[in-house]
Amino acid sequence: MKTESYSYEHIGETMHVYSHSSGLKTYVIPKKGYLKKYATFGTYYGSINSEFIIPGEDSPVKVPDGIAHFLEHKLFEQKDGSIMDKFSALGARPNAYTGSNQTVYLFSCTDRFHENFQLLLDFVQNPYITDESVEKEKDIIEQEIRMYEDDPGWRSYFNLLGAFYSRNPVRIDIAGTVESIRQINREMLMKCYDTFYHPSNMVIMVVGDVDYQKVFEQVEQSIRHKESRGEIKRIFPEEPESLNKKYVEQKLAVSVPLFKMGFKDNRTGLKGAEALMQEVGVKILLEMIMGRSSSLYTRLYEEGLINNTFAFSFTNEENYAFSAFGGESPDPEKVRDIFVESMEELYRSGLDEKTFERIRKSSTGKFIRQWNSVERICDSFINAYFKGATIFDYFDVYDKITFEYVNELFSGHFNLDNLALSVIKP
């Protein structure tokens, strides 16, 4: 059995890796003294993958929006009933989530880890989907979609993506639409399953006080596919570099307007440590420009234009990247105008190196704090993994990132031509 181990002494964490013949990798980060064990089984398949070519075939397949998420719901059903009953009989809490790029199945437990882990390995590999259960699930998912339609934070986010992208499928809500899910049938679900749930497209991550050798043995015995498989061709429409729209607005039952604003970033497709470097770099820049210690935040706050709900993030994936920042505001357009004004000032004056050093230090501290939580470790691990890196690579990134590099990112990312604003109004 081929295994490797990596240690990061400085914060007292170790990671063990096992590579299965199918191409599946399993990672274990043992957390001594933790009672909770958290295991995830993820596939590099999310809501954006609605057009693809199955390995070994020539012609592309197109499926309805929301199918990855639909499949996530249906996988919990097994031949002998719901897998949820089996997990709850063992005292575990199973769950799953679908993102734009990934679908992740997970459970947490404090007892009988290996039995629960076996359930996870088995149910993700054994779909049991009937026409009848597909029809019933449509009602439940419709309610889920309705719930998100009323969520102003969620809506402002997807409206912003719609402002950035005219064709990239990331602009479509993860669960699809009430209309698109009505078209889904068993055959389509199975086609997606067979394409994207091959172990070579997946990863397993376990965090908790577990015996990693035993985890690896269980994986070796339970993974049915023994051989690796050819690449899945993922098809995306050609996306123009420019914005789809500069401004989008929607009315919802809210008391104060909400906004999200951000930059569409055309520097995509970075892999491995380079992708992490870009992510950390832009996040440091956002913190420098609009973090709690910035003059811009102070001004907007004191003028009553933003409040404590103000937050920012940066996302970079294979074929899209963008920053997003916002919160509640009585006048989002004024926030944008002040932001633009202060960006123009910053282009003239340049970034401050001392501020960079201070933010780098505090960001490192925040990264270390993530290691308190088994869930945070897993989420951030999976996110990094599908970019071709691991969570351990971040340490190096925080150590090595330079002011010069961040300056270079600054002129690339903060391009006012690519700034869009999405507003939810009462």
Ranges within 192-251 binding other proteins (CB under 8 A): 251
User: Given candidates 5, 7, 213, 298, which one binds other proteins under the rule CB under 8 A?
Assistant: 298
Contact 84, 94 (CB under 8 A): yes
Check binding of 14 to other proteins (CB under 8 A).
no
User: Given candidates 14, 364, 380, 415, which one binds other proteins under the rule CB under 8 A?
Assistant: 364
Minimum CB–partner distance for residue 146 and other proteins (Å):
4
Stretch that binds other proteins, among 34-42, 122-130, 187-195, 345-353 (CB under 8 A): 34-42
Active-site entry in 4, 13, 57, 72? 72
- Buried b / exposed e along 348-362 (16+ C-beta atoms within 10 A): eeeeeeebbeebbee
Nearest-angstrom CA–CA distance, 99 and 102: 5
Instruction: Give the per-residue contact string, 369-388, with other proteins (x = CB under 8 A; - = no).
Output: x-xxxx--------------
Nearer Cβ to other proteins, position 238 or 302?
A: 302
Check binding of 11 to other proteins (CB under 8 A).
yes
Which residues in 152-171 contact other proteins (CB under 8 A)? Answer: 152-153
Nearest-angstrom CA–CA distance, 207 and 37: 6
Minimum CB–partner distance for residue 384 and other proteins (Å):
19
Stretch that binds other proteins, among 53-61, 225-233, 278-286, 290-298 (CB under 8 A): 290-298
User: Given candidates 16, 20, 25, 31, which one binds other proteins under the rule CB under 8 A?
Assistant: 31
Check binding of 366 to other proteins (CB under 8 A).
yes
Tokens matching residue 320:
């899209």
Closest by Cα among 316, 234, 281 to 398 = 281
Check binding of 311 to other proteins (CB under 8 A).
no
Task: Give me the residues paired with residue 29 across strands.
Answer: 207
Nearest-angstrom CA–CA distance, 249 and 423: 5
Stretch that binds other proteins, among 103-111, 119-127, 331-339, 344-352 (CB under 8 A): 103-111
What number of other Cβ atoms are within 10 A of residue 253's Cβ?
Answer: 8
φ, ψ of residue 414 to 5 degrees: the values are -85, 65
The region that residue 351 occupies, defined by phi over 0 for left and psi between -120 and 50 for alpha, beta otherwise, is beta
- Buried b / exposed e along 257-272 (16+ C-beta atoms within 10 A): bbbbbbbbbbebebee
Check binding of 308 to other proteins (CB under 8 A).
yes
Check binding of 353 to other proteins (CB under 8 A).
no
Active site residue 72: yes
Exposed, middle or buried by CB within 10 Å (0-12, 13-18, 19+), for 98? buried
Judged by CB under 8 A, the number of residues near other proteins is 73
Nearest-angstrom CA–CA distance, 310 and 312: 7
Check binding of 340 to other proteins (CB under 8 A).
no
Evaluated on CA atoms 165, 166, 167, 171, the torsion sign reads positive
Check binding of 130 to other proteins (CB under 8 A).
no
Check binding of 5 to other proteins (CB under 8 A).
no
Check binding of 108 to other proteins (CB under 8 A).
yes
Contact 385, 209 (CB under 8 A): no
Minimum CB–partner distance for residue 49 and other proteins (Å):
23
Nearest-angstrom CA–CA distance, 326 and 423: 10
Nearest-angstrom CA–CA distance, 109 and 89: 12
Q: Per residue, what are the HEC states of 90-122?
A: CCCEEEEEECCCCEEEEEEECCCHHHHHHHHHH
Check binding of 84 to other proteins (CB under 8 A).
yes
DSSP state of 244: S
Stretch that binds other proteins, among 79-87, 227-235, 237-245, 335-343 (CB under 8 A): 79-87
Helix (H) / strand (E) element for 261: namely strand 258-263
Which residues in 254-283 contact other proteins (CB under 8 A)? Answer: 254-256, 258
Nearer Cβ to other proteins, position 82 or 126?
A: 82
Nearer Cβ to other proteins, position 36 or 191?
A: 36
User: Given candidates 58, 131, 132, 139, which one binds other proteins under the rule CB under 8 A?
Assistant: 139
Instruction: Give the per-residue contact string, 386-425, with other proteins (x = CB under 8 A; - = no).
Output: ----------------------------------------
Nearer Cβ to other proteins, position 38 or 44?
A: 38
User: Given candidates 27, 87, 196, 381, which one binds other proteins under the rule CB under 8 A?
Assistant: 87
Question: How many helices and strands in the chain, by DSSP H and E?
Answer: 15, 17
Nearer Cβ to other proteins, position 137 or 239?
A: 137
Catalytic residues: 72
